[in-house]
Structure 1
Amino acid sequence: MAEEQRKRVEDQTTQTIEDIDKTFLRKMQGDMHRCAAACCDNENFSVQRIHSCIHSCSIHLNEANQYIQNEFERSKNRLQRCIMDCNDKVKDKMGLDPSQGEINNFTKEFENCTKNCVDDYCDLLPSLKKTIKKVFANNKFNYQ
């Protein structure tokens, strides 16, 4: 994948993740830290009980982060499979001992194919963000 396409994927992925973070995860992080602080403030708790309490405070945030990570990983796997398919298609056409002109044409074909993969991935991100936001809005991770 060309550097320009790689940067496009990274930038759009980062932008999507930051939007989700600002919309949902930051509040969850604040809630988790306030909950953990309340655990530590309880002087009647044993050390073990404090650790258990702090762990309980982080469960929803950890589940939310894992869900988001899985969704993005699944989407990136689709992108990787698409690029691998581009590579396979070009290799199948290339044959033995191609000329430099053929190699140049195949390289251009591969680059166009991978650009289409990146376009599809980037076009998928708004739908992915909408799905993730819907899951959070439906209180899947006890948000709010």
Structure 2
Amino acid sequence: MSSNKDEFDKSQERMKDAVNQVAEELDISYIRKLQREMHLCSAGCYEGRGVLNRKQIDGCEEQCRTKYQAVVAKVDDEFSAWQDQLNRCISTCQDKQHQQFGTDFSKLSEQQRKQFSDNLAKCAGVCMDEHVKHLPKLKDRIVTFLKKSS
């Protein structure tokens, strides 16, 4: 029988893989295209538009970056909100253990420390598994934003 620590590690690995998969899918399907467009647009600021001064070129480049920067901000906001929710869930797990065992870990017996750690690992693992289930909706929100931005 595997320990709660093993289950925690498996949950953590599943979560990491799921986050990486969503990020990779967004990158390959949408973000790289936007990044390419941004760079091509920026390159165009230097050619074929007559004689522009430095300030005009800088303004042109800034305009080229606007759409890409908005997308990056949206992706960052969505993943940050998801991470914050996960952190709150895990903090609640820790609070529950402190309520049961107290806040001074050094005063716990070895058996209580193990129980504290096992309970925390189990609860945190559940948090991670539950939050992985939210990733498809997170991805959908980002894709909807990307499609509206196109």
TM-score (norm 2): 0.85
Q: Specify the code of the residue in structure 2 equivalent to 1:103.
A: R
Distance (whole Å) between structure 2 residues aligned to residue 26 and residue 136 of structure 1: 12
CA RMSD of aligned residues (A): 1.8
Distance (whole Å) between structure 1 residues aligned to residue 26 and residue 74 of structure 2: 12
Distance (whole Å) between structure 2 residues aligned to residue 22 and residue 98 of structure 1: 50
1:119 lines up with 2:126 in the alignment = no
Q: Which aligned segments of 4 or more residues in structure 1 are displaced greater than 6 angstroms?
A: none
1:36 to 39, 42, 57: 42
Unaligned 5+ runs, structure 2: none
Greater shift in the superposed pair: 63-72 or 19-28: 19-28
Q: Specify the code of the residue in structure 2 equivalent to 1:16.
A: V
CA deviations 1:97-132 (Å, max 9, x no partner) are 433222222221111100011001111111111121
TM-score (norm 1): 0.88
Larger relative CO (CA 8 A, sep 6+): 1 or 2?
2
1:46 to 20, 45, 53: 53
The count of residues paired between Structure 1 and Structure 2 equals 140
Match of 1:14, SS?
Answer: helix
Greater shift in the superposed pair: 2-11 or 117-126: 2-11
- Identity fraction in percent: 26
Contact 2:97/2:119 (8 A) holds in 1: yes
Contact 2:41/2:61 (8 A) holds in 1: yes
